[in-house]
Chain A
């Protein structure tokens, strides 16, 4: 089981958390401007790197707050956790940009 460091509560078991997938995917500013191809990308395409991924987690049975983390999808090691309002940390080649 993973141990995940909630930025507010500290390290807790993975079973306390809910996974939210790729971070930094904003709702389109003007949805009416998007064509079918752009909608498909927004709805169905997410980064799927073999390596570092910035992603969302929620401390679902703890403080119930969402946060972002950068994790290695091969070793599963968490590199850093940060608040959703913070920019993506600069750790080199982090997947998660569409």
Chain B
């Protein structure tokens, strides 16, 4: 029978065995790790790089997020990071020669209370000053952009308006991982799956090798891109991170005709909804309250976000849940990421992206690659250091983080 099957299509990347030594080892083969490898090779000419992934490529949060991309954050530091990331997104389909269905269909952040309205208009003004496209729209404009939404005043938290970022949107997340992987591989990066890091070898305060389930790998530099498992990695490396790992859940409905033309997020009633290209309604909300590494959460969280979605979109009342799932997100106290040097020489960390890491994939890779190559941060990630928790220069983005952290 096997000879009747067509040939296997071309593989997008090789599956090499680990070499004894690399210039840079990246721990974590998700979006951020792959983007870092790509930018190391493309911008810094560093191609003797291994990406070590304990499971399969892009199988963690990269396969579990709700794919929303936007840059409408409040503070200058965040605007710099997320807007640069959005500009990279706009180039990447051509640059990576891969149509990963990046769709700039706009993102709305709804306001339901007077405080929401004040926070939202302030954020729109801050965005405009930072060159980020943003506008404040009234309920009628909300309805024009998204006809299925209920702007009546007969619900518990009527819609009082929204911020709108037209350049924001969604992309197909697994294709993004594959696109980065293919290009990084072409430039010489070794992507090594089923390779779990079990320890770090240090000499005089500097990392010189990683221990893995496939043997010791010597390296000049190491970058941690472990998302929800970052604390586990940093403990192996001998330092602690100010993050907590939580379950974050999402769900999809069965396939429907296209009814939802944009992305709608509501911080106050706690749901965000878009419609994937195939037709599923994709929804998510805030984290489960407790610490958890189990890649699953409690069902009442799903029930609450569906209740919120049906109140905002009455048409969803007869839709059925097809599937729910969870990932593990690494959350900081100021709802901003850490892209930084660490107490260990030549070891760098990218973590703390919480519930919003997907949109930051190119930005994280771009800034972390620079930090690795130069042993100092890029101006865009200078403020996102570990030291900010000691200096007090926090980047408090709870308002713009869109969901509870």
Contact = CB atoms under 8 A, between A and B. Distances in A.
B389 A73 contact: no
A1 B291 contact: no
A40 B390 CA distance: 5
Nearest to B387: A40
B298 interface: yes
A73 B291 contact: yes
A83 to B, nearest CB: 20
Interface string B214-233: 00000000000000010110
Contacts of A39: 390
Given A40-B389, A73-B293, A14 B298 contact: yes
A14 B231 contact: no
Given A37-B390, A40-B390, A46-B244, A14 B300 contact: yes
Contacts of A21: 244, 291
B293 A1 contact: no
A29 interface: no
Q: Chain A: interface residue count, which band?
A: 20 to 34
B11 interface: no
A18 B290 CA distance: 9
Nearest to B331: A48
A37 B389 CA distance: 8
A48 B300 contact: no
Contacts, number: 62
A43 B241 CA distance: 12
A48 B298 contact: no
A interface, over-half SS: mixed
A74 B290 contact: no
B219 to A, nearest CB: 24
Contacts of B294: 73-76
Nearest to A57: B290
A55 B289 CA distance: 12
Contact of A50 (B241, B242, B293, B391): B293
B55 interface: no
A63 interface: no
Contacts of A55: 290-291
26 contacts: A14-B298, A14-B300, A15-B300, A18-B289, A19-B290, A21-B244, A36-B392, A40-B242, A40-B389, A43-B333, A44-B242, A44-B389, A48-B231, A48-B241, A48-B243, A48-B245, A49-B231, A50-B229, A50-B231, A50-B245, A50-B293, A71-B290, A73-B290, A74-B293, A75-B294, A76-B290
Given A37-B390, A76-B292, 5 more contacts: A1-B298, A15-B300, A40-B242, A44-B242, A48-B243
